[in-house]
Amino acid sequence: MKRILMLLVPAAGMLVLGGCGRALKPGDEMVGEITRDRTLESYSEDAEEALFRMGRPVEADFRCAGFALASGRDMAITVESDDFDPVLAVIDREGAVLCMNDDWDGDLAARVVVSELPRGSTLLVFGVDGRGGEFDLSVEEADQSDLDEFTAATSLDSGVLEGERVDDKDDDLMDDLLSDNLEDYVYASSYAGAVIHPFTIEEEQLVSLSLSSNDFDASLALVEIDSDEYEYVGYSDDYAFDTDSRIDQVLEPGLYGAVVMSYGENDDGDYTLTLTRYDSAALEPEKVNADMPGAIFTGTVQPGRGLAAGVWPDITQSKPYDLTVSAATPCAFFEFVIGAGQSGIFDINAGSDVLDTFLTLVRLEQNGTVTYIASNDDASSSTDSKLTWVLPQGTYVAMVSSYDETCSGEVDFSYQPSSVRPVPLIPGRVSRGVIGYDTPRLTYTFDIVAGRSYTVSAEATDSAGDSTIDPFIEAVLPDGTLLTDDDGGGYPNSLLHIYPSTEQAGGVILTVRGLYEGSAGTVDVELSEDRMSDSEAFSLYD
């Protein structure tokens, strides 16, 4: 028969510190109460910092009950309370925190599973807000399946964590700490239900964090765990047009936390958090030298190799929100150069017999940075990809990946001057065009000479004169200079001014597209020409 121990905190304190009573062991059940007699700090001076680093923010003066634990035993310990939201932690005789748990099996109860505890270990019981009250505690014999289950639900060491989020969580301390550091980057009405899973980076490396759930709309933040702050690193919600989340990031050595949240404040349910670490070889790109326009070049997409961050190091920070390629996307890379006098409209193609290709084009700048140009998937209702784009002088890399990142195989790439013929723009005459799926951009041309100034406007209209698209203007000058404008004519319209120098005289290639991929609408484009003022002309030579 199990013994039922009725203990209050003073008795628990005597059990741990005074040496009276006996240590908890499998088979024990008890009712206890947290009063004001003991605090976390009285059991461990390092508990506040240690628990914070484990993802559980606390304060040193939180009220706490403590119980000695039998050494060398495998035990599963559970605590429940109707008075407060309980947390369990185990410390050794030096006060170091060995393990911790808050919330178990979709409930506010807490549970820890321990194996072969060292002598002098102590179980701590406290609330997430430091409040006291009565609690029920039980100790059971643990087997390997219990240990495996606890590890799988609390540790990312294996790379996969199976957790469960509870609803109606009242955690003001967690809410305050996360809102201070995340509110400028993350939309959330409350962070009280967030769960932080820590992991350590020993050396600089690319990691991929993925969060999925069939029960709620999962959102994921990445924080660096400092001594007393959770500092924002990254955020993801609805990755690749799904309700799951993913963050790919190159991280410096340190302690980090994956913050599991839900778009709905009170959503609950199971989730899977995956941590993938990549070695340095995965970031070494094998670029194919595509040095001949019109030729077909072949590369290979391999899972876990040729990752996008190898060519585009700051892709996580600088890529468009709707671009599905991430730092950890495997790619085949094709590098080509548009030389002086070669600027123009080009067709860039990618295809494969074995996978659904996705094409991303970037430009390598002279200062070492990377500029995103454009991307495409499934051109002309096929699984191949194609871009028709105005390319000024420069070095480019076509990153060809699989739309389904689990696929691998050979891909083909080519580029050549396009057969698209730009529409001549005549000063003072409006040219109306329609941007849509079949014509994602409008292309124009006109001549410029030094001593004259030029203005191009792009206004969004429909039959009623209302804005339907946010036009974006790009112009490539004869010397390869790229000029752009968005909203220069007042939102959503664009207005681009050109003041050509002598070296820039000649034909301009101009494109008008929607600022956002997939935009559709009618645009009125107009060119005006004026004589430069003396001050404008002289400024070209300053």
What digits encode the pLDDT tens for the residues 227-264?
A: 889 999 999 887 765 667 899 999 999 999 999 998 76
Question: pLDDT per residue over 307-328, tens digit each?
Answer: 999 999 999 888 887 788 999 9
Residue with tokens 């590890």: 151
Query: What per-residue confidence (pLDDT) applies to 143?
Result: 95
Give the total residue count for the chain. Answer: 542
Q: How confident is the model at residue 357 (pLDDT cuts 50, 70, 90)?
A: very high
pLDDT band for 407, please (50, 70, 90 cuts): confident
Backbone phi, then psi, for 40, in 5-degree steps?
-55, -45
Average pLDDT over residues 196-206: 95
How sure is the predictor about 521, in pLDDT bands with cuts at 50, 70 and 90? very high
Mean pLDDT of the region 292-317: 94
Task: Give 163-278's CATH code, choosing from 3.40.309.10, 3.40.50.720, 2.60.120.380, 2.40.128.640.
Answer: 2.60.120.380
pLDDT at residue 9, as a whole number = 34
Predicted pLDDT at 5: 32
Predicted pLDDT of residue 7: 33
**First and final CA of the chain: distance in angstroms?**
95
Domain positions in the chain are 4-154, 163-278, 281-417, 423-539
Longest CA span, the chain: 102
Query: Does residue 471 contact residue 515 with C-beta atoms inside 8 Å?
Result: yes
Q: Which amino acid is at 455?
A: T
Mean pLDDT is lowest, of 58-67, 120-129, 225-234, for 225-234
423-539: what fold? Answer: Jelly Rolls (2.60.120)
Residue 265 pLDDT more than 70?
Answer: no
Residue 422 is classified by DSSP as P
* Cβ neighbours around 396 below 10 Å, total: 21
Report CA torsion sign: 104, 107, 110, 113: negative
The mean pLDDT value for 275-302 works out to: 96
Provide φ and ψ at 108, rounded to 5°. -75, -5
Model pLDDT, residue 22: 80
Helix spans in 155-220 (H): 172-182
Q: What is the mean pLDDT of residues 385-398?
A: 94
pLDDT for 244 equals 79
The pLDDT of residue 11 is: 34
Closest alpha carbon to 350 in 301, 398, 290: 398
pLDDT band at 266 (very low <50, low <70, confident <90, very high): low
**Residue 532 scores a pLDDT above 50:** yes
> Do 124 and 65 meet the contact criterion of CB atoms below 8 Å apart?
yes
Contact between 469 and 492 (Cβ < 8 Å): yes
User: How confident is the prediction for the chain on average, in pLDDT?
Assistant: 89
Burial of 365 (0-12, 13-18, 19+ CB in 10 A): exposed
Region 124-136: mean pLDDT is 95
pTM, 2 dp: 0.78
> Strands 4-6 and 29-34: what pairing?
parallel
**CATH number of the structural domain 281-417:** 2.60.120.380
Query: Mind listing the pLDDT tens digit for each residue in 134-178?
Result: 999 999 999 999 999 999 999 999 999 999 988 888 999 999 999
User: What would the CATH number be for the domain defined by 4-154?
Assistant: 2.60.120.380
pLDDT band of 422, cuts 50, 70, 90:
very high
Q: Which of 491, 530, 495 is nearest to 512 (CA)?
A: 495
At 461-517, the pLDDT tens digits run 875 444 579 999 999 999 888 899 999 999 999 999 999 999 999 999 999 999 887
pLDDT, residue 540, reads 58
- From the list 1, 112, 122, 138, the residue with the least C-alpha distance to 67 is 122
Cα separation, 435 vs 516, whole angstroms: 12
Q: What is the mean pLDDT of residues 328-340?
A: 95
Residue 18, pLDDT > 70, answer: no
pLDDT confidence of 48, banded at 50, 70, 90? very high
CA angle (454 as vertex; 451, 460 as ends), nearest 5: 175
Find, among 199, 176, 200, 206, the residue nearest to 188 by Cα: 176
